[in-house]
Chains A and B, each alone.
Chain A
Amino acid sequence: MWDRIKEKLEILADAAKYDVSCASSGSSRKNQDKGLGDTGMGICHAYTEDGRCVSLLKILLTNHCIFDCAYCVSRKSNDVKRAAFTVQEVVDLTINFYRRNYIEGLFLSSGIFKNADYTMERLVLIAKKLRTEHHFHGYIHLKAIPGASDELMQEAATYADRLSVNVEMPTEQSLHLLAPDKNRADMLKPMQYLKEGIIQNREEKKQFTKTPLFAPAGQSTQMVIGATPESDLEILYMSNYFYRQMNLKRVYYSGYVPISNDNRLPAIGTPVPTIRENRLYQADWLMRFYGFEMNELVSLDQPHLDMDIDPKLSWALNNLHFFPIDINRADRVLILRVPGIGVQSADKICQARRYNKLTWDHLKKIGISVSRARYFVVCNDRQDEYKSLTPIQIRQQIVNRAHSKYAANFSPQLNLF
């Protein structure tokens, strides 16, 4: 029996791993009445050899699927081993892994069997069982199956901390091309429903002291990057829409790992676009934490992010007239825009400069990347030698100094489209 469970676990973990979400933070669920588990800041309990974090038991309930999406390993026409867990098996695995401190909770997704509601019902049943029978207060992330009913979505949100609908493709055309069984509207409908539910729940919380939790860690989604020819502009436009219009907590970018000989897709052996994925995450962070607007990073004239340098440096070089800024006087919003200075360093700078005029030595100790920032700031010990450099010269100096860990991936990736 154990061998069979082990085999199922291998098949269904393998099939789930292309979903990159691993967050276990942001929920407000607390242990009650000496039950099991707790949520909080989110903990990564392990890291796989590809450097990604393992926070949740991330599995599919089954990889049987009635859909035939070209980019997916579990697509109907793919000749892979199929397996399905029983409800009890998923519950036992979750509880026993959790008790040993291997995981923060469960991330459960599934291939679509029979229909959307039937599948969603099983996912909800597992979450319900964990919460009510096992008094489990750990983190649960459920996949919202596009097309499932509002009632099921409502029930899912009462037991899960986070729900996500993967839009998969950045544009409707790509979705139509690669996933003919799916449609965009089915994906956006549950997202919209959850958004409204979350807002309503927040309002109720203000009025009543005891309001049940409703997807306390919010929603997220994922887009596959590099399977289709969208520009970074189109991708970031969608992210911006999800953050601003749908109140999503996170958008994940999953560099396409070639798994199929389908001629609509990059061939097997094409490198995973890790660097592009990385640049998109950098841009995403700039939009969420650094006060950048999407159109400052990409535009119709420049629809792609620069692959050689990060988007913040790229913006700074295109806008050199803002620099150099005075580290001892400039507003926090401007300091945040300096390449080489992160959010924490910016905060430290703003606090420390109230006591002392800051020098390069201070900045170095605070932990900023001086080799980048020195082109863009002045501080108490003036250093104006870089003032006369052109953007191209600065760019070259920085690029030559850096040894990118992705260097090996550069050329094939840039030739992709």
Chain B
Amino acid sequence: MQAVVYDGSFKGWLTAVFDVYEHRFKSVQVYKEENGEQSMFGHVHHTGTEEAKAGRVWKGLQQKLSNRALQELYYAWLSELKGIETHMLLFVQYAFGSKASIENDYSHPSVLLISQVAKKVHREKHRMEAFVRFQLTTDQLYYAIIEPDFNVLPLISDHFEQRYADQRWMIYDARRRYGIYYDLEKVEMIEVSFQQDSLSGKDISAVYDEQETLYQHLWQSYFKSVNIASRKNTRLHIQHMPRRYWKYLPEKKPL
């Protein structure tokens, strides 16, 4: 068994793929640096990000795979699921090793897995486009917090930039501790470390625009009014709006 430990970036993973070919590693497991699982293995190879190597692998992949398959590969990587990098490698090795296109061969376990995981990430992306709830702050910033299952901020950025082109906004991933901020010109990735009580503190009204709570109340009562009680279907409700997302949804908070 050969472990390849990379730096946790997508380009780092591409670099790792390059090294696997260069060193002719067999039965490889690919890990992120912080996971610390590599100690179980005898042979450990470390890679950082090397633009040239990453670029060559990507270029090679572009010749073997359609844009859709390349996108699925990137989506799967954003899932951060344990072991996904190894399946991505197997997928890539299968692609490079075949003359014909293999990306629709769902009888291959890694091809199927990548496509299924990519689908889950895509669903999470779509959910975040739906469940982001902006709150207007006193300095007229529309601010939202999310805790998505997968690292989807890079995927939703374009959607929000296109849609809310005339307002300053920020979406913060509380689980991964970084956010995206739009300043009316462009979207930037930013790392913020909030002091524990700066936003959850006692004096909310000092942070939020005076109309903010009013609109949240209106939204809550709208949400309540459109429900048809005689058609209650809790299972369906939970299926579409899983509980783990309720924390940041004003309509699921008590009136």
**Interface assignment of A356: CB less than 8 Å from any CB of chain B:** yes
Counting chain B residues whose Cβ lies within 8 A of the other chain, the interface size class is 35 or more
Kindly state the separation between the CA atoms of A13 and B251 in the bound complex, as whole angstroms.
15
Most buried by B among A5, A31, A255: A31
**Interface assignment of A114: CB less than 8 Å from any CB of chain B:** no
**Interface assignment of B219: CB less than 8 Å from any CB of chain A:** yes
CB distance from A8 to the nearest CB of B (A): 10
**Interface assignment of B234: CB less than 8 Å from any CB of chain A:** yes
Kindly state the separation between the CA atoms of A58 and B104 in the bound complex, as whole angstroms.
41
Most buried by B among A57, A257, A352: A352
**Interface assignment of B107: CB less than 8 Å from any CB of chain A:** yes
Q: A44-B130, A99-B142 are in contact. Are A405 and B235 (CB under 8 A)?
A: yes
Q: A351-B106, A354-B104 are in contact. Are A36 and B167 (CB under 8 A)?
A: yes
**Interface assignment of A50: CB less than 8 Å from any CB of chain B:** yes
On chain B, the residues within 8 Å of A355 by CB distance are 102, 104-105, 107-108
**Interface assignment of A152: CB less than 8 Å from any CB of chain B:** no
Residues 296-354 of A at the B interface (beta carbon under 8 Å) = 348, 351-352, 354
CB distance from B251 to the nearest CB of A (A): 6
CB distance from A33 to the nearest CB of B (A): 9
Residues 154-183 of B at the A interface (beta carbon under 8 Å) = 162-167
Kindly state the separation between the CA atoms of A47 and B223 in the bound complex, as whole angstroms.
9
**Pairwise interchain contact A257-B166, C-beta atoms closer than 8 A:** no
**Interface assignment of B215: CB less than 8 Å from any CB of chain A:** yes
On chain A, the residues within 8 Å of B228 by CB distance are 17-18, 48, 50, 52, 257
**Pairwise interchain contact B226-A99, C-beta atoms closer than 8 A:** no
**Pairwise interchain contact A352-B218, C-beta atoms closer than 8 A:** no
On chain A, the residues within 8 Å of B45 by CB distance are none
On chain B, the residues within 8 Å of A399 by CB distance are none
Kindly state the separation between the CA atoms of A30 and B126 in the bound complex, as whole angstroms.
18
Question: Which chain A residue shows the least CB distance to B216?
Answer: A100
Contact of A257 among B134, B224, B231 (CB under 8 A): B231
Chain A proximity mask over B214-232: 1 for CB below 8 Å, otherwise 0: 1101110111111111111
Residues 153-185 of A at the B interface (beta carbon under 8 Å) = none
Question: Which chain B residue shows the least CB distance to A367?
Answer: B116
**Interface assignment of A37: CB less than 8 Å from any CB of chain B:** yes
Which listed segment binds B: A61-69, A208-216, A358-366? A358-366
Which listed segment binds A: B5-13, B29-37, B71-79, B236-244? B236-244
**Pairwise interchain contact B240-A352, C-beta atoms closer than 8 A:** no
**Pairwise interchain contact B162-A366, C-beta atoms closer than 8 A:** no
Most buried by A among B217, B218, B232, B249: B218
Kindly state the separation between the CA atoms of A18 and B226 in the bound complex, as whole angstroms.
9
Kindly state the separation between the CA atoms of A255 and B130 in the bound complex, as whole angstroms.
27
Residues 12-31 of A at the B interface (beta carbon under 8 Å) = 13-14, 16-18, 30-31
**Interface assignment of B144: CB less than 8 Å from any CB of chain A:** yes
Question: Which chain B residue shows the least CB distance to A44?
Answer: B130
Kindly state the separation between the CA atoms of A255 and B228 in the bound complex, as whole angstroms.
12
**Interface assignment of B129: CB less than 8 Å from any CB of chain A:** yes
Most buried by A among B108, B136, B217, B228: B228
**Pairwise interchain contact B132-A49, C-beta atoms closer than 8 A:** no
Contact of B240 among A31, A44, A365 (CB under 8 A): A44
On chain B, the residues within 8 Å of A366 by CB distance are 106, 112
**Pairwise interchain contact A10-B221, C-beta atoms closer than 8 A:** yes
On chain A, the residues within 8 Å of B236 by CB distance are 47, 50-51
Q: A6-B218, A51-B237, A97-B215 are in contact. Are A102 and B106 (CB under 8 A)?
A: no
**Pairwise interchain contact B231-A274, C-beta atoms closer than 8 A:** yes
**Pairwise interchain contact B165-A35, C-beta atoms closer than 8 A:** yes
**Interface assignment of A383: CB less than 8 Å from any CB of chain B:** no
CB distance from B155 to the nearest CB of A (A): 14
Binding site for B on A (CB under 8 A): 2, 5-6, 9-10, 13-14, 16-18, 30-31, 34-38, 41, 43-54, 57-58, 93, 96-97, 99-102, 135, 255, 257, 272, 274, 348, 351-352, 354-356, 358, 362, 365-366, 405
The 5 closest A-B pairs by CB, nearest first: A51-B236, A351-B104, A51-B233, A50-B231, A13-B225
Binding site for A on B (CB under 8 A): 102, 104-108, 112, 126, 129-136, 142, 144, 162-167, 184, 211, 214-215, 217-219, 221-237, 239-241, 249, 251
Could you jot down 7 A-B contacts, CB within 8 Å?
A13-B225, A31-B162, A38-B163, A43-B130, A99-B142, A101-B134, A355-B102
